[in-house]
Homo-oligomer: A and B are copies of this chain.
Amino acid sequence: MAELVEERPATAAMSEAVREVIASLSSHFGDRLSTGRAIREQHANTITWLANEAPDAVVFVESTQEVQIVVRACAKHGVPVIAYGTGSSLEGQINAPQGGISIDLSRMNRVLSVHPEDLDCVVEPGVTRKQLNEHLRDAGLFFPIDPGADASLGGMASTRASGTNAVRYGTMKDNVVALTAVLANGEVITTARRAKKSSAGYDLTRLFVGAEGTLGIITNLTLKLAGIPEAISAGVCAFPTIRDACDAVILTIQSGLPVARIELLDEVQVRACNAYSKLDLAEQPTLFVEFHGTEASVHEQAERFGEIAKEYGGGDFAWATRPEDRTKLWQARHDAYWACLPLKPGAKALATDVCVPLSRLADCVDETKHDIEEMGMLAPIVGHVGDGNFHTVTLVDMDDPHDVAKAKDFISRMVERALAMGGTATGEHGVGQGKRKYMEAEHGTATLDAMRAVKLALDPQGIMNPGKILP
């Protein structure tokens, strides 16, 4: 892509330094170290329009000690190290623009301990969110952070992921209690104790959450858990316009209603979901909501939300009372991305997200919607609107340079619009390669310099996931 200085096709020549690293690792890792093209390309599959920039080799590690072995070998030779979980990141976080070694953490997938009495657990970074929730179900607990994909928890921490429950339960920033990471110098740090709070020194936990593997490789996480609510109630409500739906969200949050999920789908996305997930929703701007609590409080919340919805022309509520109906509803929400693809056969679906102060949500969504219409684009809108966070899934014919240029222009305008409204270039997908160019506008030079100073302090050679986050 034009904006990337350096491309790294799978056929790029291997440097002498990389050869030495591979030679030094091969006896230990045997066939867990691969230089095969298919595996390398699969580890740089960005699900975006960013070019696939494959690493020189992929190592399947099984322990913190093995991560140390790889990082130390790479540090010795100045070779890049890229962490890989499930490959579901959306901004090129797993690409290897300067080559190097991809550390595949998917085999570090053990739930090490669950402490129901402390509402926390300790997991390896390759455990996925669904795997963890399967594991927890019998204990009556769950881990609430749910990005669309069944991502790994190490990857979710690294991109500061969130999802539909964030409005009630927070993001990864709020739900990682402590983590263990291998630094660029090969040392292992553990950032905090298992206590619920601490004032004992710098918050390295939060520094590593969202660092996208540029400061170190996470090899262990202590996560906060929530009790499965006694009662859950979910429903769907259609609105005359997208602004009405957004205004209903704003009032819901301002009223302090402790809604657990409040998700917006525009009429295009509803149409896509109807087709893909066999639903029969009215093809209008729609909110999916969910309430958690006791029977009585869930009932009360639903009633209050109903009153707010009515103020903004919300239609009748369709309640999903049976657990299987609820599951179908939220699975449809999680499948929104896949549901978009058939809308424009052959097109790529480019998911991008922004987040604005709640007071600007209706404006930002509305203007974005107008932009889509004026530009004649196909880009359903879907979002975690209780946080002021929404996505567009832009459908692009990658073989049509005009379509590609139009989509890029649209996404840039959307990010600039969010920034102009006091928002951020990304609420939950992270920066990766795709949003580096907005960091100067978002943070300013002095703040970026402070980030660069922190990066340089912990990774003086610049070997940890180079070419990400910082422009």
Residue positions of A touching B, CB distance < 8 A: 115-120, 159-162, 166, 170-171, 173-174, 183, 187-204, 206-207, 209-211, 215, 226-227, 229-230, 250, 253-256, 293-294, 296-297, 300, 355-359, 387-389, 418-419, 422-431, 435, 438-439, 442-444, 446-451, 453-458, 469-470
Contacts and interface: CB of A to CB of B under 8 A. Distances in A.
A263 to B, nearest CB: 15
A189 B204 CA distance: 19
A424 B173 contact: no
Contacts of A470: 201
23 contacts: A115-B357, A117-B359, A118-B359, A119-B253, A187-B449, A190-B447, A192-B424, A193-B422, A195-B389, A196-B388, A198-B355, A199-B428, A201-B210, A201-B448, A202-B215, A207-B207, A227-B254, A294-B297, A294-B300, A297-B297, A450-B458, A454-B457, A454-B458
B256 A227 contact: yes
Contact of A188 (B430, B438, B446): B446
Number of copies: 2
Which of A166, A198, A359, A388 lies at the interface centre, i.e. has the most chain B CB atoms within 10 A of its CB? A198
Given A196-B389, A201-B443, A183 B427 contact: no
Nearest to A191: B447
Nearest to A215: B202
Contact of A458 (B116, B166, B204, B453): B453
A204 B360 CA distance: 24
Which of A188, A387, A389, A424 lies at the interface centre, i.e. has the most chain B CB atoms within 10 A of its CB? A424
A371 to B, nearest CB: 20
A422 to B, nearest CB: 5
B194 A357 contact: yes
A424 B355 contact: no
A178 B314 CA distance: 35
The 10 A-B residue pairs whose C-beta atoms are closest, nearest first, are A206-B206, A457-B457, A198-B424, A227-B256, A117-B359, A187-B446, A189-B447, A453-B457, A195-B355, A160-B199
Contacts of A294: 297, 300
Given A161-B199, A200-B425, 4 more contacts: A187-B449, A194-B422, A196-B355, A229-B256
Contact of A200 (B215, B435, B455): B435
A149 to B, nearest CB: 15
A356 B457 contact: no
A448 B189 CA distance: 9
Nearest to A353: B199
B443 A200 contact: yes
A224 B435 CA distance: 26
A117 B355 contact: no
A426 B198 contact: yes
Contacts of A197: 160, 162, 166, 171, 173, 355, 387, 389, 424, 427-428
A199 B253 contact: no
Contacts of A170: 174
A217 to B, nearest CB: 14
Contacts of A210: 199, 201-203
A195 B359 contact: no
B193 A424 contact: yes
Contacts of A438: 200
Contact of A254 (B116, B190, B229): B116
Contacts of A453: 457-458
A189 to B, nearest CB: 4
Nearest to A447: B189
B195 A422 contact: yes
Contacts of A442: 193, 200-201
Nearest to A436: B201
Nearest to A171: B197
Contact of A296 (B202, B297, B439): B297
Contacts of A230: 256
A146 to B, nearest CB: 14
